Amino acid sequence: MRETTSTCCYCGVGCGVIIEHDGVQITGVRGDPQHPANFGRLCSKGATLHLTASASVTRQTRLLSPMRRLQRGGPPQPVSWDDALTHTADELARLHRAHGPESIGVYISGQLLTEDYYVFNKLVKGLLGSNQIDTNSRLCMSSAVAGYKATLGADAPPCAYDDLQHAQTVFITGSNMAWAHPVLMRRLEDARRANPTQKWIVADPRRTETAESADLHLPLMPGSDVALYHGLLHLLLWEGLVDTGFIAQHTEGFDALRDRVRDHTPRETARLTGLAEDDIVTAARWFGSHTPTLSLYCQGLNQSSSGTAKNAALINLHLATGQIGKPGAGPFSLTGQPNAMGGREVGGMANLLSGHRDLGDPTHRAEVARLWGVPEVPAKPGLTAVEMFEAAADGQVKALWIACTNPAQSMPDQATVRRALERAELVIVQEAFATTATCAFADVLLPATTWGEKDGTVTNSERRISRVRPAVPAPGEARHDWLIARDVAQQLAARLMPERAALFDYPTAESIWLEHRESTRGRDLDITGLSYEMLETRGPQQWPLPEGGSAGRVRLYEDGHFATANGRARFADVAFTPLAEPRDARYPFSLNTGRLRDQWHGMSRTGTLGRLYGHEGWPGVDMHPQDLQRLRLNEGDLVRVRSRRGEVLLPVRRSDSVKPTQAFIAMHWGEEVLSGRDSAGRALAGVNAVTLPSFCPQSRQPELKHAAVAIDKVHLP
């Protein structure tokens, strides 16, 4: 029996795992007691990783050889890697020549490793000559990125997990961390046990398990977060709880914001949010006086048509009270996916460049071009996730290369996404699992390795870089994602720009990481002092860790110097704006979506284990008992949930976790168990048949947390 130390492949907590195996099969997994994210703990998903990687599951779910459709509509046929790579490169080169670089869209994933991300990003921006690469992290974290940059000057979460134990007030807003980040929740529970004076405020429209454990639950109306934060700032000013010294020394732009929040009185805030005035006052007092105060937040803020404003308005509260840059204080965004952070570090999005550089900055583009040895990096931003699929549905994007993600289930407005996948001339799906809905649209299927087989690094929510190590060989003919991207890049270069083939001469994952490391030199996330060897000997490290350093920095901005040009943090004078699609007489329910405790994304891995259905065994729409009574519904009745874009049929579940006129459907269930269709009657998968593609104008993150829907009983014959 052998053991290999690695990292869990699910959420952004980034727990360390020890994989037990015999060199061929993974036989067990346990938490790594040395890993500073989890100290040996695992949640139900992490603790069953070995079962989802068993030989019998692999035989049923994995994509084990390259395949391609020899004609559209025909069945995919197994082909050799040579054939698959040659065909892929031939077709991409043909479309590139015929329609230009922007006819190709590459859509990747926050579940790829940093090394995978780096090669994909360089392939698009350094070889194809466009910025048409985006990631499912756009659906997850891009509002947090935009919020940090707008206020603190850099996409850098300033806090660390250790802050949980130093905080006196913990403001959890837009996060059900008890289910979405379970091990972090256990750490928070430990902190409250050790310090019974610690208070938790949870702002969430639903009474989630996290909200159940709060000292104060603020069940605000969907989309009213900015109104709440402005109302809290109004009270902090009124009660003299702002830190005028910190504001004067370390910030700018406070006067405009102070004027804006003048009208956000407790009464007005109560009207806009639906909260009790007394609760708003209590929250403000705890936030401003029971300090240090730590905010933890996630998709409730990010997945919104005003996601950047929500993030920035929350950060305003920390700047106004000086609750940042010290133990137990700060705005701490939790990342949903295991490597959303690493993807941002390499600039793997349509508007970013390597090393947290901005595409819009000519100096930054020149630096990256020099690093890569190319004449230039194009200035025009690529299309972001929703836009890319809309452009493919319109016929402008001709090729979609999708890696390690399942847009035919996870993207909003499935009718458009499926039109895109049908209309594109070439759909390449690079995947470990043959079972995703997107695989059914692929012209070319490229089998990829996954957890237990991959080699590289990931970065978790607290900026900590951990190694992902292979324990067993890849099954069948599966190959590493970076290797597939490298081989396609070299073949494409041979067809389009032979002199650039050498840019992708990577023999190992580490060789890619070393180039990425160099791209961070002098940047806020400088990791030039870090190496695979140091990760081996000293364990996971937080960034920055510049050359000569011996350990990463735990907490940022401790000296009050921010990452802006003048070192001052910027207050964001943002307006409260209503939801993109408010409910009305035709669509009278607010539909919310989110995670379950024991499932992950489209369930291609967790859905293979019976025991993970023990917590929630069937898909349902949660509705308040009053609404059930009004609509004459009983638990288990089949209902039709309709929006302007499509509908889903599923059973109703009685729940007082949602308020009257609100409803909730978990994001995980797909077409196997949740039937849906678009307004033209075509079959669709999952809750995203009804969600809307509206997105935040700054972050371009779609509003997955709210859609206006109608709910009617289905009368079975």
* Chain contacts with ligand SF4 (rule: CB under 6 A): 8, 10-11, 13-15, 38, 42-43, 45-46, 181-183
Q: Which residue is nearest to ligand SF4 (CB)?
A: 46
Least Å distance, CB 379 to ligand SF4, is 37
Least Å distance, CB 119 to ligand SF4, is 24
HEC letters along 309-342: HHHHHHHHHHHHHCCCCCCCCEEEECCCCCCHHH
Identify the bridge partners of residue 201 per DSSP, sorted by sequence position.
171, 216
The smaller minimum CB distance to ligand SF4, of residues 44 and 289, is found at: 44
The smaller minimum CB distance to ligand SF4, of residues 47 and 64, is found at: 47
Asked if 176 and 209 touch (Cβ cutoff 8 Å), the reply is yes
The string of DSSP letters for 536-595 reads HHH--EESP--TT-SS--SSS-TTS--SSTTS-EE---PPP---SS---SSS-EEEEEE-
The smaller minimum CB distance to ligand SF4, of residues 42 and 472, is found at: 42
The smaller minimum CB distance to ligand SF4, of residues 14 and 205, is found at: 14
Least Å distance, CB 185 to ligand SF4, is 8
Least Å distance, CB 500 to ligand SF4, is 37
How far apart (Å, rounded) are the C-alpha atoms in residues 127 and 438? Answer: 26
Least Å distance, CB 161 to ligand SF4, is 11
Least Å distance, CB 16 to ligand SF4, is 9
Asked if 404 and 448 touch (Cβ cutoff 8 Å), the reply is yes
The smaller minimum CB distance to ligand SF4, of residues 8 and 393, is found at: 8
The smaller minimum CB distance to ligand SF4, of residues 181 and 217, is found at: 181
The smaller minimum CB distance to ligand SF4, of residues 181 and 700, is found at: 181
The smaller minimum CB distance to ligand SF4, of residues 181 and 234, is found at: 181
Instruction: Give SS3 for 86.
Output: helix
Least Å distance, CB 141 to ligand SF4, is 15
Q: Which of 208, 209, 205, 210 is nearest to 222 (CA)?
A: 205
Exposure of 330 in the CB half-sphere (CA atoms within 13 A): 27
The smaller minimum CB distance to ligand SF4, of residues 15 and 420, is found at: 15
SS3 of the chain: helix, strand, coil, percent, to 5 = 35, 20, 45
Least Å distance, CB 595 to ligand SF4, is 10
End-to-end CA distance of the chain: 58
Least Å distance, CB 569 to ligand SF4, is 30
Residue 268 burial by CB count (10 A; 0-12/13-18/19+): exposed, middle or buried? middle
How far apart (Å, rounded) are the C-alpha atoms in residues 526 and 345? Answer: 10
The string of DSSP letters for 30-63 reads EE-TT-TTTTT---TTGGGHHHHTSHHHHHHHB-
Q: Which of 416, 338, 343 is nearest to 605 (CA)?
A: 338
Return the number of other C-beta atoms located less than 10 Å from residue 253's C-beta: 17
